[in-house]
Structure 1
């Protein structure tokens, strides 16, 4: 170890970079020693099928490796991560500009390949000179986007009718399936609603009968049993008690004492009680109804004349 340490001190600073960037390394007592052979060649950038291919030497295996880059989607962080994945012996890898400014991991490779840059691998600096490009990538990207749009439109024009028919069949099948699920629930709901409505109507008639009985009793007490001087305070307190009852109804229900609303509230009360007794799932019924309505709306939108490419008047005549 002392001999190796002495040799290490005599190595010039200029050669230390070549020593660190070597492929074969020897680990002894947690110290790392690298071979003094320089790398076989620098990092090169070539273009294949319109895409840049970066070729570099992996330090651990001392073999050349190519990385095909998609400049508009690949970032510097992805590229450097791919290098480390290919060679687990790489501890430090970074991309720097010619003035030693580090590129962030979110920088696109298109930006990196516009000018010369440096690639630091295990503290060994490589100067990379990408070839000049006659046409910028953003222009090529716009052309590719235009081509993709045209292909998409062509595909849509050729398969639009088939797609509409297939989608319409799917929606119709879904509607039939939902109808089959809703039909038994609809029958049970109709039965429960009929019985609840009849019970609510009876309650309304009972209320009318009680009010008529109260009015008749007050009249009988006023004209046949007692005089108006005696019954006047009684009717006053009855009226005041009714006002208290109406106000208590508002406090409890947050609704005005309006007879149609009272009847609707009582009807729903009877309906939910009977639905619980008959094991009628109200939530499932509402969910199926909502899904049925959404499917019908999707079918209506699919048959819209703008989607079918038909004049609106023509569709109205068919309907």
Structure 2
């Protein structure tokens, strides 16, 4: 049974239908199941039709007999978990390591390209900030020249007032456009982000693929850490499979969230 579990883990499911097509819970006891007289059992996409006559059920399958069968089924399941858990974990860990190596090998060149683009964008944002500082210095020098050499303060006072008020209007327009307060760190970060996406498109850097690979690597590392955690060493295979499915679903949600975040930056 262990090789079947390892090779067909994705298809390892079972359910039971009675004659009218109603699905029965997997927690239903054999005693209650046999009372239907006929049912269909599915194991790994294989269907088995079971029919029990009322005479055999009344004569041979008493309540004590059914409880013994249920106890035997629980014992077999516990024994199967004890015998197959190590083999399952070894196989699962081997596949996770292979998946991690593949994702990291694909992520490495993308990460190097991302770092190079970030360095260029950081230099561009730094130049923009220094250009703004220079423009403010030039404006101050022009106002000083006009105030003390060319004209008087009585003439320049309304000019400086409207210049200051124009700056307030510009900051309000920045907020209406970006929905962010006008602060120098946030402005620099926005300039860098905008430049990053422009350069990414120009150089063929796939931002969504990079985000999905980062999420995949983080998810696989978390799964490996959980498998190697002593607290998870004696969990049944069915519970480990459920944990794996939960992690995969959370990873897909995280990938979708990262993709939506990348679109919002654009």
TM-score bin (small chain): 0.5 to 0.7
Alignment match, 1:235: 160
Cα shift readout 1:237-273 (whole Å, capped 9, x = no counterpart): 0111111100111111111111111111111100110
Task: Establish whether residue 197 from structure 1 lines up as the match of residue 96 from structure 2.
Answer: no
Which residue, 232, 255, 263 being the options, matches 2:180?
255
**Is 1:154 equivalent to 2:61 in the alignment?**
no
The answer to whether the Cα contact below 8 Å between 1:74 and 1:109 also exists between their aligned partners in 2 is no
Deviation at residue 135 of structure 1 after TM alignment: 7.4
3-state SS of paired residue (1:209): helix
Q: Tell me, yes or no, if the aligned pair for 2:37 and 2:54 is still in contact at 8 Å.
A: no
Q: CA RMSD in A?
A: 2.8
Kindly indicate whether the alpha-carbon contact (under 8 Å) linking 1:175 and 1:295 is maintained by their aligned counterparts in 2.
yes
Query: Greater share of helix residues, 1 or 2?
Result: 2
1:133 is paired with a residue whose SS is helix
1:75 aligns with 2:14: no
SS in 2 for 1:77: coil
CA positional deviation for 1:279: 0.7
- In structure 2, distance between residues paired with 1:242 and 1:284: 40
Find the aligned partners of 1:198 and 1:258 in 2 and give their Cα distance: 19
Q: 1:270 to 1:132 in 2, by over 3 A?
A: closer
Displacement, 1:176?
Answer: 0.8
Select the residue among 282, 286, 294 that pairs with 2:211: 286
Give 2:199's aligned residue.
274
Which structure dedicates a bigger proportion of its chain to strand?
1
Instruction: Answer 1 or 2: higher relative contact order, Cα 8 Å, separation at least 6.
Output: 2
Q: TM-score, normalised by structure 1?
A: 0.55
For the pair 1:305 / 2:230, whether they are aligned, the reply is: yes
Distance 1:271 1:208 in 2: 22
User: Within 5 A, what are the aligned runs for 1:14-29?
Assistant: none
- Could you give the per-residue CA deviations for residues 269-297 of structure 1, whole angstroms, max 9, x where no partner exists? 00110110101111111111111111111
Question: Does the Cα contact within 8 Å between 1:110 and 1:137 map onto a contact in 2?
Answer: no
Instruction: Give the total of aligned pairs.
Output: 196
Structure 2-normalised TM-score?
0.66
1:210 to 129, 135, 140: 135
Contact 1:275 1:281 in 2 (8 A): yes
Deviation for aligned residue 1:137: 6.8
Is 2:121 the counterpart of 1:178? no
Q: Which has the larger radius of gyration?
A: 1
Q: Give a deviation string over 1:44-96, Cα, whole Å, max 9, x none.
A: xxxxxxxxxxxxxxxxxxxxxxxxxxxx9553436xxxxxxxxxxxxxxxxxx
Aligned mates of 1:236, 1:138 — CA distance in 2: 95
How far does residue 156 in structure 1 lie from its aligned partner after superposition? 1.9
Q: Secondary structure at the match of 2:159?
A: helix
What corresponds to 2:94 in structure 1? 169
Question: Is the contact between residue 96 and residue 224 of structure 2 (CA under 8 Å) also seen in structure 1?
Answer: yes
5+ residue gaps, structure 2: 1-14, 22-32, 39-52, 235-266
| Unmatched tracts of structure 1, length 5 or more | 1-71, 79-107, 114-127, 310-319
Q: CA deviation at 1:145?
A: 3.7
Shift of residue 221, structure 1, vs aligned partner: 1.4
